[in-house]
Copies of this chain bind each other. A is one copy, B any other.
Amino acid sequence: MQRYVAVVGSGSCSPQEALAAEQIGSLLARADAVVVCGGLSGVMEAACRGARREGGLTVGILPGSDRSAANPHVVVAIATGLGELRNGLVVRAADAVVAVGGEFGTLSEIGFALKLGRRVIGLATWELSQKPDSILRASSAEEAVRLALEG
């Protein structure tokens, strides 16, 4: 079965985060994994752009009701109308979650993923000092993808 990997992070991210997300998307696509994300800009768009460059499949699970809000690199856009509750669907749809940087929405996705027993890989993302080992730390896009696909 094909792997589904969520790439999560802020809708407005730093150039370094965008670069990392793009590389992650590319590497996932090369490994024939489906890239799942929240469908918007920032880390989500960068991951989709990278995956599409390699001809990969990208899924954007959108908060609103309008599919046209998806970034241009989303192949399948699901307009949910659930608002931020769609974060839970992004995680649920994936076998593993790679968090790149990220704000509060990303934190909700990390918590939700860990609760559901999903493998969570972090690249310069939230530190969970009380359970430091719950997020698998990656120091590069390559390592993040390797950890995501290992599970």
Min CB–CB distance A52 → chain B (angstroms): 14
20 residue pairs of the A-B complex, CB under 8 angstroms, read A1-B67, A1-B68, A57-B75, A67-B93, A79-B92, A81-B85, A81-B92, A82-B82, A84-B88, A85-B89, A87-B112, A88-B88, A104-B115, A105-B111, A107-B107, A107-B115, A107-B128, A126-B128, A126-B130, A127-B129
Kindly report how many copies of this chain are found in the complex they form together: 4
Query: Which of A89-117 touch B at CB < 8 Å?
Result: 89, 92-93, 103-112, 114-116
Q: How many residues of A contact B (CB 8 A)?
A: 43
Min CB–CB distance A17 → chain B (angstroms): 14
- Closest 3 pairs between A and B when the two form their complex, measured CB to CB: A108-B111, A107-B111, A104-B114
Whether the pair A92, B76 counts as a contact (CB closer than 8 A) is no
Which residues of chain B are within 8 angstroms of A115 by Cβ–Cβ distance?
84, 87, 103-105, 107-108
Whether the pair A110, B112 counts as a contact (CB closer than 8 A) is no
Please measure, in the bound complex, the distance between the C-alpha atom of A93 and the C-alpha atom of B114, giving whole angstroms. Answer: 23
Whether the pair A93, B78 counts as a contact (CB closer than 8 A) is yes
